[in-house]
Amino acid sequence: MNEIGFSIHTIPALLTQDGTEGPPAPGQDSSATIVADGGQPGGAPQVANPFGDNFFIMLMLILLGMIILSFFSGRKQRKQRANMLDALKKHDQVLTRGGVFGSVVEIKPDRVVLKVDESSNTRITVLRDSIEQVTADNSGN
C-alpha cells in the first residue's frame, strides 16, 4: 500500500514545472517561446505566395482584357468583309473560299454569278458570303 501512495504523490510532482526548461505542462502558463521548426514564434509559419497577394485578381483582369480585345478585333474584320461584299460590282475578279477564281457577271442579294472560263463561257453561281477576296478590279473594260 505504501508503493501506491508513493506513486500517486510523485505524479503531480513530475507534471509541475518551474518554466525554465521544456514545454509547460497542460494548464500552466509559460512566458518562454519555443520555436521547434525554425519558423516565426506565435503561430504557423508564414508561407510566401510566389505569385503575389493579388494573383487571382490579376489573372481575371488579364483574361477579361484578352476577351475584350478579341471581340473588338473580330468586329473590325467583320466590318471590313461586309464593306468588301457591299462594294462588289460586275467585272471584278474574285476568289471564292473553295479556291475558284472568276469574274463577276451578275450580283443577286444572296448569290453571285461568276464566269470561270472565257473560252467555254462557263458560269457558276456561288453564295455571296463564299467570296473570300476581290483580286483585281476590271471595271474599266
Q: Do residues 103 and 117 make contact, with C-beta atoms less than 8 angstroms apart?
A: no
The predicted pLDDT at position 82 comes to 92
Report residues of the chain scoring pLDDT below 50: 1, 5-17, 19
What does the alpha-carbon distance between residue 94 and residue 104 come to, in Å, rounded to a whole number?
7
What would the pLDDT profile of 83-111 be if each residue is shown by its tens digit?
999 999 999 999 999 999 999 999 998 99
- Tell me which long-range contacts 27-31 makes (C-beta under 8 A, separation of at least 24): none
Domains located in the chain, CATH noted: 83-137 (2.30.30.30)
In whole angstroms, give the CA distance from residue 52 to residue 109: 57
Contact 130, 96 (CB under 8 A): yes
Distance of CA 141 to the CA centre of its chain: 52
Q: Is 0.85 topped by the overall pTM?
A: no
